[in-house]
Amino acid sequence: MSRFSAVTDNPHDGRFNQKTGILLTNLGSPDAPTASALRTYLREFLSDPRIVEIPRFVWMIILHGIILRIRPKRSAKLYESIWTENGSPLTHITRQQSLKLNALLKEHGYTNTEVVMAMRYGNPSIEAGLEQLRDKGLTRIIVLPLYPQYSSPTTGSTFDAVSNVLRKWRWVPELHFINGYHKNTRYIESLANSISEDLAANGMPQKLVFSYHGMPKLFLERGDPYHCLCLQTTRLVIEKLGLDKDQVISTFQSRFGKAEWLKPYTDATLESFPAQGIKDIAIISPAFSADCLETLEELEGENREIFEHAGGEKYRYIAALNERDDHIDAMFDILKPML
Query: In the predicted model, what is the mean pLDDT of the chain?
Result: 94
pLDDT (mean) for 66-70: 96
Contacts of 258 (CB under 8 A, 6+ apart): none
Complete edge-to-edge strand list for the sheet that includes strand 174-177: 113-119, 20-26, 140-145, 174-177
pLDDT of residue 12: 53
Question: Each residue of 306-330: pLDDT tens digit?
Answer: 999 999 999 999 999 999 999 999 9
Q: What is the β-pairing status of strands 174-177 and 140-145?
A: parallel
Binning pLDDT at 50, 70 and 90, where does residue 1 land? very low
pLDDT (mean) for 142-152: 98
Q: CA-based diameter of the chain, in Å?
A: 74
Ranges 5-19, 24-38, 192-206, 296-310: which has the least confidence: 5-19
pLDDT surpasses 80 at 282:
yes
319: DSSP letter: P
CATH code assigned to 185-318: 3.40.50.1400
Please name the amino acid found at residue 316.
R
Going from N- to C-terminal start, the domains of the chain cover 35-82, 185-318
Q: Which residues are annotated as a binding site for Fe(2+)?
A: 213, 294
Distance CA 118, CA 73 (A): 25
pLDDT of residue 116: 98
What percentage of the chain exceeds 90 in pLDDT? 92
In the chain, which ranges are continuous DSSP H helix? 3-6, 35-46, 56-62, 68-82, 89-107, 126-135, 157-166, 185-202, 217-221, 226-241, 266-272, 304-309, 325-335
pLDDT of residue 257: 83
For 320, phi and psi rounded to 5 degrees?
-60, 165
Binning pLDDT at 50, 70 and 90, where does residue 9 land? low
pLDDT surpasses 90 at 11:
no
pLDDT of residue 2: 39
Q: Which residues are annotated as a binding site?
A: 213, 294
Complete edge-to-edge strand list for the sheet that includes strand 280-284: 248-253, 207-213, 280-284, 314-318
pLDDT surpasses 80 at 6:
no
Distance CA 90, CA 291 (A): 6
pLDDT of residue 17: 59
pLDDT surpasses 70 at 56:
yes
pLDDT (mean) for 201-207: 97
Q: How many CA atoms lie within 13 A of 255 on its CB side?
A: 17
49: DSSP letter: T
Question: Each residue of 238-256: pLDDT tens digit?
Answer: 999 999 999 999 999 999 8
Distance CA 273, CA 275 (A): 6
- List beta partners, residue 279: none
**pTM of the full structure:** 0.94
In 185-265, which ranges are continuous DSSP H helix? 185-202, 217-221, 226-241
Decide: 90 and 13 in contact? Cβ < 8 Å.
Answer: no
Number of other residues whose CB lies within 10 A of the CB of residue 7:
13
pLDDT of residue 209: 98
pLDDT of residue 258: 86
pLDDT of residue 10: 53
Decide: 14 and 135 in contact? Cβ < 8 Å.
Answer: no
